[in-house]
Amino acid sequence: MLYAFFILRPERDVNRFGSFANAYIMRVLQWWSGKFENITHEFLQTSQWH
């Protein structure tokens, strides 16, 4: 699907899509890192009770 997208689009649209993909990936990584921190924090809090 992405392959066909790169074939059909001119190069300047591909560059725009690349920058959009980078921003989206950065946002997903930030979301995952925040979620991982929350999970680690909860795990440490619950493990202290045992």
Per-residue pLDDT, 23: 87
Q: Average pLDDT, stretch 15-25?
A: 83
User: Whole-model pTM?
Assistant: 0.47
Whether the per-residue pLDDT at 16 is higher than 80: the answer is no
- Beta carbons within 8 Å of 45's beta carbon, 6+ residues apart: none
Q: Under a CB-based contact definition with an 8 Å cutoff, are residues 31 and 43 in contact?
A: no
For residue 10, count CB atoms less than 10 angstroms from its CB and return exposed for 0-12, middle for 13-18, buried for 19 or more. Answer: exposed
Give me 33's structure tokens: 């890192």
Domain boundaries, the chain: 2-47
